[in-house]
Amino acid sequence: MKKRKVKENFMEGLFFIAAAASIFAVVLICFFLMANGVPAIGKIGLVKFLFGTEWSPSDIPPLYGIASMIVGSLYVTAGAIIIGVPIGLFTAVFLSKICPTKLYKIMKPGVDLLAGIPSVVYGFFGMAAVVPIFGNSIISGCIILGIMILPTIIGISESAIRAVPSEYYEGSVALGAGKYRTLYKVVVPAAKSGILAGIVLGIGRAIGETMAVIMVMGNQARMPVSLLKGARTLTGNIVIEMGYAEGLHREALIATGVVLFVFILIINLSFSALKGRKK
């Protein structure tokens, strides 16, 4: 009897430890970032760091302003959303409500495959197919990122649309509405919060993406001047310079990570808020 009790407790503990591991990892990352990044922000000065437009670590004295990278990240993320959301949403509606079963069996794994492609491969694709047309530029980054966020937006929107009760569909059709009017006026609006959640996750993916973006965007550390010119993102900044950075330069890069982390935190909070509203 006692032995069984011990076993029960042991198993409970095992599950708890497993569940705690991921939380522990988050806390650890958070701690590492803050401990290494926040002092640098203090040294540089918060306003100079966030709003300074000059990033020149080799100058004397060095300048550590990441405003141009923040703007770069926002540009490329916004562009990805403009390209990815309409395509993703239409695809989700098609897959969930229009596509015949046979075609679905081909298309769905195709979309899933898109999610599994490593980002460096997207980068190659961008270098081979997009850069020759648009150059190493913001717009190339937008196009590649727009494709990369498709699986996220499609997957979440599709399940949100599928979760809309079929009674809504029937109710609209029974009033004489056609299929597309019903989808546009009733079904998609009913799935709105789920679709928004998908878009928010897509934003998270886009803002955090690194490798593919570096490969097509030129990465000039300056205020973006044109969609057809290069720019650098927050993630790109870290990866490009981390290899040789030392001292305050290195800390400033980690501080860039802190800013990125705060962005992701905001995005995840709005994701949870959207999910919560559904209930």
Among the candidate windows 6-14, 130-138, 183-191, 260-268, which touches another protein by CB under 8 A?
Answer: 183-191
C-alpha neighbours within 13 Å on the C-beta side of residue 77: 25
What tokens appear for 253 in the block? 């890069």
Among the candidate windows 26-34, 39-47, 166-174, 249-257, which touches another protein by CB under 8 A?
Answer: 166-174
Count of CB atoms situated within 10 Å of the CB of 41? 21
Among the candidate windows 18-26, 70-78, 154-162, 174-182, which touches another protein by CB under 8 A?
Answer: 174-182
Among the candidate windows 46-54, 165-173, 219-227, 231-239, which touches another protein by CB under 8 A?
Answer: 165-173
Cα(98)–Cα(96) distance, rounded to whole angstroms?
A: 6
> What Cα–Cα distance (Å) separates residue 186 from each residue in 9, 170, 232, 252?
50, 10, 41, 49
167 contacts another protein (rule: CB under 8 A): yes
Cα(4)–Cα(12) distance, rounded to whole angstroms?
A: 12
Cα(56)–Cα(69) distance, rounded to whole angstroms?
A: 13
175 contacts another protein (rule: CB under 8 A): yes
- Exactly one of 153, 186, 215, 253 binds another protein (CB under 8 A); that residue is 186
Eight-state DSSP code of residue 64? E
What tokens appear for 102 in the block? 């046979």
99 contacts another protein (rule: CB under 8 A): no
State yes or no: cis peptide before 189, omega within 30 of 0: no
176 contacts another protein (rule: CB under 8 A): yes
- Exactly one of 12, 59, 112, 170 binds another protein (CB under 8 A); that residue is 170
Binding mask 190-229 for another protein (x = CB under 8 A): x---------------------------------------
Rounded least distance, CB 174 to another protein, Å = 4
- Exactly one of 171, 180, 226, 277 binds another protein (CB under 8 A); that residue is 171
Rounded least distance, CB 232 to another protein, Å = 44
C-alpha neighbours within 13 Å on the C-beta side of residue 155: 16
Rounded least distance, CB 194 to another protein, Å = 12
- C-alpha radius of gyration, the chain, whole number: 23
62 torsion bin: left (phi>0), alpha (psi -120 to 50), beta (else): beta
**Contact predicate 149/80, CB 8 Å:** yes
Count of residues in contact with another protein, rule CB under 8 A: 17
- Exactly one of 107, 111, 173, 240 binds another protein (CB under 8 A); that residue is 173
Between 96 and 256, whose beta carbon lies closer to another protein?
96
Backbone angles phi, psi at 199, to 5 degrees: -65, -40
185 contacts another protein (rule: CB under 8 A): yes
What residue ranges bind another protein (CB under 8 A)?
A: 165, 167-168, 170-178, 181, 185-186, 189-190
